[in-house]
Structure 1
């Protein structure tokens, strides 16, 4: 969150005038660019700067050669795959609508790598303390627009790896896709430093139409993994105590990105209107070894600040840390309006799963938290006691108006007896503030601590221990749900019952599906404006009414009831590595994507499956789990997919061409992607169609394989007794 103390949030001075840049392109993108302008080729191993540079047969050698050219709309700069270039890129020029400038790769093989060279004395900025700070990103665009960047690996730089900024006007249309950005160094001075940064550089400059897709960003002693800030550092507070408004970026998307091992935040949007954070994964955030009294503080994994109409959905965050407070996964921070956090999975964090904050003398309005799954957060006793799993709080003259929290599922298993919901916020206005239709499974008896503004009803709570459950509501504590209902006036239709979650080993039942006869079935309340689908994308309601929790009951869920013998699968992946599946030694997680889905123009759906596979492969690294991505049908020729393992940074995940649809036919894959979980006993024990779902896959593996190494069991009994 933005700290209670006035953390500095911007760089100023000469750094704002630095120009560096890097761009990248897929083969299909290259063809489009070649038809509209000049294409320049760079081969840092075999090129010669005296060459023409306009064909693969006569490439340039150095990045300085590129930096000396002013590019025109429609031009492209392509780096040879499998090569390593020392230095930085500072391309000049802007594209225009329909004719962007493109920067990418050509050839076959690993991404071209740009390694930041030595920092010179000319690239230093004088800080407010009188000390000099190194300022040399690996890639910068400054006062430039209409750029496409794709298929590059950027190594090093400080305080950013990729830096896009300016000091005047609205800069439009950026497509940053399939980059690896890593190892950005230096000491963070504020929350706007990090691996990938799109930052307003003056009070008169912002952005519009920005898409960051398929970026892998990791390994930084600077603050964030990916940060987009559409404004500039605010002026001091006025006489009324409020922070003045600044410009906001508009139409910003961060999708299918993976961020890990950052000193501070994972993925953040600051001062954005119409923002989307979708299908991203962030882990091992907040890894700063000790708290710096002069630097930023209080990191989270995926969050927004001063955001307007921003949507956070289908993301996963875990293993978030903090030396201060927060250390959570998702956060609607102060000064935000009309934001929704839905269909996300947050687990195994030191802090909370989700928070909503008000501060800065203003009011955070119309915040919606729905259909999320939170499991095993609050691993730090200190943070669990302070914040819980769901945290509503205000300070600095801030307030909340309109907080709707419904149809979420919480597995609360803290190391100490503290409530999962902590609400000490100041509320104003007349918008609805409620907590409804939520399923809470707790290993401790103290369930919530809230003021009386938040209304409670139609929730189902379960604590399987010997003590009476306790609700702290308003000025009183209530022992037992009947006491809360009679004396506290809350939970008129609430339940304290075993939710009867599915645990049948015969059907490989999973601890988030409602079993037949569950009291949560049809017990929810229809909420005005609620989405038409549950966490798994199934229509709601399925029965006579809405269910409680994030997952609607389906009598025969094909994802858990089907147990088939897995067919033998032998061959080579697109990198010519042999495979022979399934084996007797480990589990196999396989996603099969029809070629038609894979060939969609933005590939966002196909990418989301790769992101989920990468997350789970990382969590179960060393445990014997194998993962594969299969593209099935015409158009999936191996030679056409040779670069995919590199472009999507898939690492150990196998990419398999099923051009003749042999696997697709045997496994009954039609026009929708299918994910299969195959046991060491060579049985298909899980089969799910449609969008990849982090909680469904993650909790399935946790249930069948045990928790990932280093993570705790969920520890809440909830099945039939």
Structure 2
């Protein structure tokens, strides 16, 4: 009897031990290159998405795809994890190639619907098709009424998604639901608490990069979109819809509207919220957006915003629509007249600096640095009954443009230079060169924002007003106010930096003299926004790398058209090495033949002077000492129809010229100081695209 009871007890104990093991987290392996489908172990992996999609996953499970293998079809995740034991989708195996999920034209390549606590990591997700439609790379959807939580999309490459590019017409709604990464909520669905989209590389995705689209029954919470690269997406960079206090930070978006599936029609913008509460966008970068009907700005505070829309510590450059759009009245959502706080941002050649109209919500535009080398600076601001627009402590550098004055618009303590006149209400205006370190500098092919620090002796140092609620830091991390209690004008609250010596010509680029034919609006060789065509230059042999003109070989470092690509000579000292008898230049003049004197410094400390002269780029024949390096049958200008780049082509031919200046034979060159002809802003002057010692 005792023996039977002991056996029964041991059997029961065995059941208690075995049961948890049976429900323990499991690692499932998938190798779609395997010839047969196994049981999901690493030694016998599944070989199809059908096996994956037939499985309901649970807390702590891992779904691991083999590196270097491609699964074609749609990955549909079923089941939920927990906060402490999320379901993780990732990679296994050796090598650096990510496993690929290729949707092959499905609605999405990866689909998570009504699930919680999923983490996607280290995959390449692609969804190409010869026909564009509503389409995503990754699609997370909430449709049921219960709340969800814990969606993490981290470290993916999402590319070549054939999403819809037309925000007009019958299928306009497809555009808002097309992007590389999408979170979509039905109006009656439960919200998601915890959306983290970080460290992803999204490129060539129709409709846009990353979107949270539509507001569910309540705001999503704990939303963070950070450290993503969005390159050549055919629409919006980042859109945040229906979220409470979303944080969008340290993302980079470039060449929006272009890529494999380009924007077609309607409007898009860089990074923006809609129908959300207290959104914050900080430390982001948006550059070179294509034209659309009206928008194409880097930033936009859109409809249905509650509380405060904050843009701080961001950089933008060369966007066809400019810097900021306040469009709270542009949608069917209610206009809650949210406050717009725009502070400590740097804007380069985004000369429609702000278009904020109709909302009459308070706007605080302070401590920003606006640098417009070519195009006029332009503002539209709320005014009239109920408007409170405060424009304080900003640097405005532009050759031309104006500032609106009206009831409800206040200017104070701004700095104006380059050709713009302070509005009459700015009684504490500062005028004069702000002595920016090296504005427009592009040492690595993209902008070096350190160029917008203030040099020692700048009139902007300590000249700003101390503002309540201004934040505790500037763009570069310096404290606000400084230890002595003062505040600078502009985005830099430091104590000033020394004079800058450029390590090479490319680092000194400060003018955007070349534009792509598909995006002509961002050129600025002249004050009217005209520029050389990159396509016409390429046809003439001027492509990235060595180019030879009249027997002299130059390095053509121009590559990312829409960023500065030449030096408008303003006395820059540039490191240059070599020995010979001359320095050869590729360049041209603007507004007639131009000439100026510069200095060559040799390694032994001696110097020699030279005179550099260039022919006007429109001239049909060169002046004495110049030779034609390239003749282009047309050039680009600002489009007459905003979103039709073909209207930005001018059939007037233009030329690039070559010349040389003598140097002391037998001595090694250490640096060259360019002439100071007309200053750095577009207008009369000399433009240098390349140089070399010969």
CA contact (8 A) 1:94 1:145 kept: yes
- The answer to whether structure 1 residue 527 and structure 2 residue 500 are counterparts is no
Structure 2 residue 32 is the aligned partner of structure 1 residue 68 = no
Of 57, 64, 69, the match for 1:78: 64
Spell out the pairing of 1:296-311 with structure 2 (5 A cutoff).
297-311=266-280
In structure 2, C-alpha distance between the alignment counterparts of 1:249 and 1:503, rounded to whole Å = 42
Match in the other structure for 1:367:
340
Find the partner of 2:25 among 22, 29, 37. Answer: 37
Aligned partners of 1:230 and 1:272 also within 8 Å: no
Are positions 1:455 and 2:410 aligned together? yes
**1:111-126 aligned within 5 A:** 111-116=97-102
Is the 8 Å Cα contact of residues 422 and 450 (structure 1) preserved in structure 2? no
Structure 1 outlier segments of 4+, above 6 Å: 560-564, 584-587, 678-682, 710-714
- Normalising by structure 1, report the TM-score: 0.61
Matching residue of 1:312:
281
How far apart are residue 220 of structure 1 and its match?
Answer: 2.6
Unmatched tracts of structure 1, length 5 or more: 1-33, 120-134, 233-245, 379-387, 471-480, 565-583, 588-620, 625-677, 683-709
Question: 1:536 offset after TM fit, Å?
Answer: 0.7
Q: Secondary structure at the match of 1:46?
A: coil
Aligned to 1:442: 398
SS of 2:327 mapped into structure 1: strand
- Matches of residues 77-226 of structure 1 in structure 2 within 5 Å? 77-116=63-102, 136-156=107-127, 159-168=135-144, 169-188=146-165, 189-221=174-206, 223-226=207-210
TM-superposed CA distance for 1:146, in Å, is: 0.6
Q: Which structure shows the bigger proportion of residues in helix conformation?
A: 1
C-alpha contact 1:87 1:114 (8 A) present in aligned 2 = no
1:635 counterpart residue number: none
Measured on the aligned residues, the alpha-carbon RMSD in Å equals 3.5
The alignment partner of 1:53 has SS state of coil
TM (normalized to structure 2)?
0.63
Relative contact order: is structure 1 or structure 2 higher (C-alpha 8 Å, sep ≥ 6)?
1
Distance change (3 Å), C-alpha of 1:145 and 1:462: same
CA offset at residue 711 of structure 1?
A: 13
Aligned length in residues: 476
1:17 corresponding residue in structure 2: none
For residues 333 and 176 of structure 1, the distance between their equivalents in structure 2, rounded to whole angstroms, comes to 25
Q: Is the 8 A contact 1:147 1:173 kept in 2?
A: yes
Larger radius of gyration: 2
Question: What is the match of residue 605 of structure 2?
Answer: none
Structure-2 separation of matches of 1:322 and 1:35: 55
Q: Is the 8 A contact 2:176 2:213 kept in 1?
A: no
Deviation, structure 1 residue 315: 0.7
Q: CA deviation at 1:717?
A: 8.6
Deviations 1:472-524 (A, max 9, x none): xxxxxxxxx4xx43xxxx1121122222334699xx99642322322211111
For 1:161-213, what per-residue CA distance to the aligned partner results, in whole angstroms no more than 9, with x for missing partners?
10000212221111110001111114343322111101112423321111001
**Mapped partners of 2:370, 2:505: distance in 1:** 33
Post-superposition Cα deviations, 1:439-462, rounded to whole Å, max 9, x if no partner, equal 000021x23225331211010111
Post-superposition CA distance 1:249-304 (Å, at most 9, x none):
11111101011222211111112111011110111213476754xxxx21111111
| 1:529 match: secondary structure | coil
SS at 2:236 equivalent? coil
Relative to structure 2, which stretch is displaced further, 246-255 or 336-345?
246-255
Give the whole-Å Cα distance in 1 for the aligned partners of 2:576 and 2:111: 48
* CA displacement at 1:714 relative to structure 2: 11
Alignment-derived partner of residue 248 in structure 1: 219
The change in CA–CA distance for 1:522 and 1:42 in structure 2 (over 3 A counts) is same
Alignment equivalent of 1:52, drawn from 33, 39, 45 = 39
Decide whether aligned partners of structure 1 residues 502 and 67 sit closer, same or farther in structure 2, where only a CA change above 3 A counts: closer
Q: 1:648-668 CA deviation, whole Å, 9 max, x = no partner? A: xxxxxxxxxxxxxxxxxxxxx
**For residue 355 of structure 1, what is the aligned residue in structure 2?**
325
Alignment partners' CA distance in 2, 1:622 and 1:407:
37
Q: Which runs of 5+ in 2 are unaligned?
A: 1-21, 129-133, 166-173, 442-447, 508-542, 547-573, 579-635, 639-677, 684-694
Alpha-carbon distance between aligned partners in 2 of 1:304 and 1:333, rounded to the nearest angstrom: 6
Aligned counterpart, 1:514: 454
**Distance in 2 (alpha carbons) for counterparts of 1:494 and 1:81:** 60
Q: Distance in 1 between matches of 2:123 and 2:205?
A: 18
What is the distance in 1 between the residues matched to 2:103 and 2:356? 45
Residue in structure 2 matched with residue 606 of structure 1 by the alignment: none
Determine if contact 2:65/2:92 at 8 Å carries over to the other structure: yes
| Alpha-carbon distance between aligned partners in 2 of 1:407 and 1:82, rounded to the nearest angstrom | 49
Q: 1:545 aligns with which of 486, 496, 500?
A: 486
Do 2:109 and 2:125's aligned partners in 1 also have CA atoms closer than 8 Å?
A: yes
Alignment map for 1:304-703 (pairs within 5 Å): 304-336=273-305, 337-359=307-329, 360-378=333-351, 388-394=352-358, 399-415=359-375, 418-424=376-382, 428=386, 433-444=389-400, 446-464=401-419, 469-470=420-421, 481=422, 484-485=423-424, 490-502=425-437, 511-542=451-482, 543-555=484-496, 622=544
**How far apart, in 1, do the equivalents of 2:275 and 2:384 lie?**
18
The yes-or-no answer on 1:284 pairing with 2:284 is: no
Residue 716 of structure 1 is matched in structure 2 by: 681
Q: Is the 8 A contact 1:105 1:111 kept in 2?
A: no
| Corresponding residue of 1:672 | none
Verify the 8 A CA contact 1:88 1:137 in the aligned structure 2: yes
